[in-house]
Structure 1
Amino acid sequence: MTYRKTAGAGAAALLTLASLGIGASPAAAKAPAAAAAACTSGSQVKETLPNGTTWQLCWRIDERAGLILDKVSVATRRYPQPVQVLQSIRLAQLNVPYDSGETEYNDLSDFGFGGGDLETLTGEDCKGGSAREGSDGGPQAQRRKVLCVSAEASGLAYRLHSYNFQTNAEKVYSKQGHDLVLRTISKVGWYEYVTEFRLADDGQISARLGATGDLSPSDYVRADNGWPIGKNARDYASMHYHSAFWRVDFNIDGKGGEKVEQYDTKVDGRGSMAAKLKTSKKTITKEGSFSKVNRRWWRLVSPTSKNKDGHKRSYELVTGADDRYEAHPETTPDVTFTQAHTCEKFATGNADPQCATKKTILDYAHDKETLKNPVMWVRVGFHHVPRDEDQSPMPLHWQGFDLLPRDFTEMNPLTPADRAGVNGQPN
């Protein structure tokens, strides 16, 4: 999984990277106003990263789901016209069953990541960033500093040692990348959860959930369900699962109507030196749940929005480390695609009365509706086997996924000017 380190932004007064010691590019400053509609609720973020990429979005806090990003658009120095990427992205459930079989929680629908469970940022929670004030989403909504916005170096963005055989000239192209990071912290029981979205300067979006806090002192168990913590083999902290779900609604270029495509690559005979591999595409037209096999991946592709090469814009789902919890049917699939309905809010434990008979993603997909406006539900699991080092406070551990732009632009949006002609097979 290509998780990268970054930072975040937020409310009425817009954070400038100058305030973080990073200057915004002149080209980006001349970019037209973002195409995304004005925020009707919550607050706006609009920030330009050092390489000239500008992200604009709306953010708000839901009492149950916590941090929600709406109307996310991106513009780059090379492509200054903003293009919408996402309609919304949010957590949709966190299922936490313990290996003893005696304890299980659904942390979002049972407790919630907003309201009184949303932490006010303090200390070093947002060091180097800007702590933004907004409504905490609770029934007696309070305005507090709850969102951290920061810009963080993400490491090497690209590197090319080029050689021109006609002129015998050499040149090294090397660029550091940056991410815009938005994060909140929610305390549920003994755990403290970090909801984080990382928006990279090459258009990638990473959704992550971090867990810290403390091991639950009431969940010590027998040796076969736990790990010895503390002196000798006396106390056993219970092993348990974190199955996190996210709800992703695209709306590429503001046009919507994305198509869901699944790609599979299989061995297809043998060539003169190696095995031949054949990649096939399957268009998923009806609601359903799916799981990964070797060399399988999915993308959401716009049928109408194209890059300058005439290729349809899309975003690819990239998953990494994952522990599947097969004890529940709804925590078994890796991804579920459903037709968009506003009452379908949570992957499990859905309590919206407008969806009286639809409590889980499997219920949503049961109708096999035609996917005219697909919503993607991503599940990523982590089986937590405690260790001595988890005391105390517990080091952060992360789970999540990436959304990788595929053919969104006809070249790398960070391409240096003198490589602009390198597009397709060279003469």
Structure 2
Amino acid sequence: MHVSHGNRLPRARKAAGTALAVSALLGAAITTAGPATAAPGAAPRAPAAGCSADYRIEQTLDGGTTWRMCWHYNTYSGLILDNISYQPKSEPKPIPVLTSARLAQIHVPYDDGEAEFDDVTGTDFGRKLQKLKTSECPGGTIKTVKVPDGGNVPGLCTTTRARGHAYRLNNDASTGGSGKVYASQGKDLLVYTVNKASWYEYITEWRFSSDGTIHSNVGATGSLSPYDFDGGDDRGWPIGKGDQAKAESHSHNVFWRLNFGLDGSPKSKVEQYDSKVTPPSGRGSPTTKTTRTPITKELAGDRQDMRWWRMVSTAGKNKDGHPRSYEFVPGASQKHAGRPFTRHDVFFTDYKKCEQYASNNIGCPNGYPASVDKWANGETLKHPISWVNIGFHHIARDEDQQPMPVHWQGFSLAPRDVTAMNPLTPQDLSDVNGRPRT
């Protein structure tokens, strides 16, 4: 089933239509994969857990860091990455990070209240994987994906891309250092696909850095729908001559679903950190107190200044004896208050197999709640699933025609105590662990 932004179908009709599409697929595989194409002359590599060479991605980056993962393709959400592991040069074996990572919804409500879409489960998003040109994957490999009813599509790019400085240190002789300047340029492993949802095209991008950071972004491009213009209404922006052709304003609320497997275990723990600043009294300086709160029950979390969350391993520690963890670092976001599932920035829910999409969820029994806000109902977290919501309010501009420049929204996962030191530490600084030399 294909639902166009231009059709302006009411939400109830759209959901019913999606249910028909789902029922037609029951009993058939809705998850497929296509063969990966090996780089010419590549040496044999150690397999990532759980997949054959056809579905493996492996890349060694600057400083000797190696990322390994599997991939497969889903009829609805498109690209899914599995069994993601990270191995710095100092580690004898890969460190498991994520069991799976994928897009969980792109919710698009229009400002006039006449149209609302779930682009992942309510359109042909997964089936409309776009063919990539060689020029769109510079220096990389385009892998072929078997798309249901879409044939074999060369649509998965894996490549590397420079990100600028990985670090810089002037080890100043005036403070007892050697006087040497340490500097290094970093590279990322870039994995991405492009899926079409009516007039929009979405670039689903994952970046894996040599320092252990994971970045996930969705870029919206393509075209504004020619049907979504509001005439004399004030909820649009004129993009034609004078006051003509007011393109309807709308939001893109993007959700990701992350199933952590730190150190090979699903039983990680969630922690929330809040810092409170107290202004100085008299001629003193401000003070800051940071509080750690273990999150043991399901949570719908909201961003605040100096608040952050991390997922903590219960199965492994670094060489300093500190539990490994990953910190959530959300990008810029414009929270949408229109639906309960868009009113929160993160959700932590206990694993349920059928809970796969943040809204307009499919595959659960009839009567089961259809959005992530209903799942965060206070159960004990034994196998936490993380959901990240990043919103963007799209008020069109003249420059959106034609084609529309990419606008990005996303988040990062930053390693926190995954390794005992910077995984890119130069050899002659490798003994500086703890208090720096003075």
Report the TM-score when normalising by structure 2.
0.87
> Mapping of 1:169-188 within 5 angstroms?
169-188=178-197
Deviation at 1:233, TM superposition (A): 1.1
* 1:167 to partner: Cα distance: 7.1
Is 2:92 the counterpart of 1:83? no
| Distance (whole Å) between structure 2 residues aligned to residue 93 and residue 420 of structure 1 | 43
1:357, distance to aligned residue in structure 2 (A): 1.1
> Aligned match of 1:361 in 372, 376, 386?
372
Deviation at 1:287, TM superposition (A): 0.8
Shift of 1:59: 0.7
Q: Does the 8 A contact of 1:42 with 1:59 survive in 2? A: no
Matching residue within 233, 255, 279 for 2:243 = 233
Match of 1:66 among 70, 75, 78: 78
In the alignment, is residue 52 of structure 1 matched against residue 64 of structure 2? Answer: yes
**Partner of residue 103 from structure 1, selected from 115, 125, 131:** 115
Question: 5+ residue gaps in structure 1?
Answer: 1-9, 20-28
* Corresponding letter in the other structure for 1:371: L
Take 1:91 and 1:72, find their aligned partners in 2: how far apart are those partners? 15
Equivalent pair of 2:76/2:120 in contact (CA under 8 Å): yes
Classify 1:348/1:42 alpha carbon distance in 2 versus 1 (closer, same or farther; 3 Å).
Answer: farther
Contact 2:120 2:126 in 1 (8 A): no
CA offset at residue 123 of structure 1?
Answer: 5.7
Deviates more, 1:400-409 or 1:155-164: 155-164
Contact 1:181 1:198 in 2 (8 A): yes
Which whole-Å CA distance do the structure 1 matches of 2:177 and 2:155 have between them? 56
What is the CA distance between 1:89 and its match in structure 2? 0.5
Q: Could you say which residue in structure 2 is the equivalent of 1:301?
A: 312
Whether the 8 Å contact between 1:119 and 1:185 is mirrored in structure 2 is yes
What is the identity, as a one-letter code, of the residue corresponding to 1:101? G
Identity of aligned residues (%): 45
Counterparts of 1:10-409 in structure 2 under 5 Å?
Answer: 11-15=35-39, 33=46, 36-39=48-51, 43-115=55-127, 117-122=128-133, 124-136=135-147, 138=148, 140=149, 142-164=151-173, 169-221=178-230, 222-268=232-278, 270=280, 273-354=284-365, 356-366=367-377, 368-409=378-419
Distance in 2, matches of 1:194 and 1:108, equals 13
- The answer as to 2:436 corresponding to 1:412 is no
- Partners in 2 of 1:200 and 1:152 — Cα distance? 10
Shift of 1:13: 3.9
Give the distance between the partners of 2:213 and 2:35, measured in 1 at CA.
Answer: 23
The answer to whether the Cα contact below 8 Å between 1:66 and 1:112 also exists between their aligned partners in 2 is no
Q: Distance in 2 between matches of 1:169 and 1:206?
A: 35
Shift of 1:198: 0.4
Aligned-partner Cα distance in 1 for 2:121–2:352: 18
Q: TM-score, normalised by structure 1?
A: 0.89
Range with greater deviation from structure 2 (202-211 or 417-426): 417-426
CA distance in structure 2 between the partners assigned to 1:282 and 1:377 by the alignment: 19
2:6 aligned residue:
none
Q: Distance in 2 between matches of 1:355 and 1:248?
A: 25
Give the aligned residue type for 2:164: G
Cα displacement (A) at 1:355: 7.0
For 2:37 and 2:249, the matched residues in 1 are separated by 44
Task: Give me the whole-angstrom Cα distance separating, in 1, the residues matched to 2:279 and 2:238.
Answer: 50
Counterpart of 2:263, as a letter, is D
Change (3 A) 1:167 1:388: closer
Does structure 2 conserve the Cα–Cα contact (< 8 Å) formed by 1:184 and 1:194?
Answer: yes
What SS does the aligned partner of 1:206 have? strand
Q: For residues 365 and 168 of structure 1, do their structure 2 counterparts lie closer, same or farther at Cα, with a shift above 3 Å needed? A: closer
Q: Which residue of 2 aligns with 1:3?
A: none
Tell me how far apart the structure 2 counterparts of residues 181 and 79 of structure 1 sit (CA, whole Å). Answer: 23
Alpha-carbon deviation of 1:421? 1.1
* Alpha carbons of structure 1 residues 166 and 129: separation in structure 2 relative to 1, 3 Å: closer
The answer (yes or no) to whether the contact 1:42–1:135 under 8 Å persists in 2 is no
- In structure 2, what is the Cα distance between the partners aligned to 1:135 and 1:51? 35
Residue in structure 2 matched with residue 23 of structure 1 by the alignment: none
Q: Distance in 1 between matches of 2:134 and 2:371?
A: 38
CA distance in 1 between counterparts of 2:96 and 2:159 reads 21
Distance across 1 between alignment mates of 2:53 and 2:389: 28
Cross-structure match for 2:12: none
* SS state at 1:110 partner: coil
Distance 2:78 2:361 in 1: 15
Shift of 1:51: 2.8
Length, aligned pairs only = 402
CA shift at 1:95, angstroms?
0.5
Deviation at 1:79, TM superposition (A): 2.3
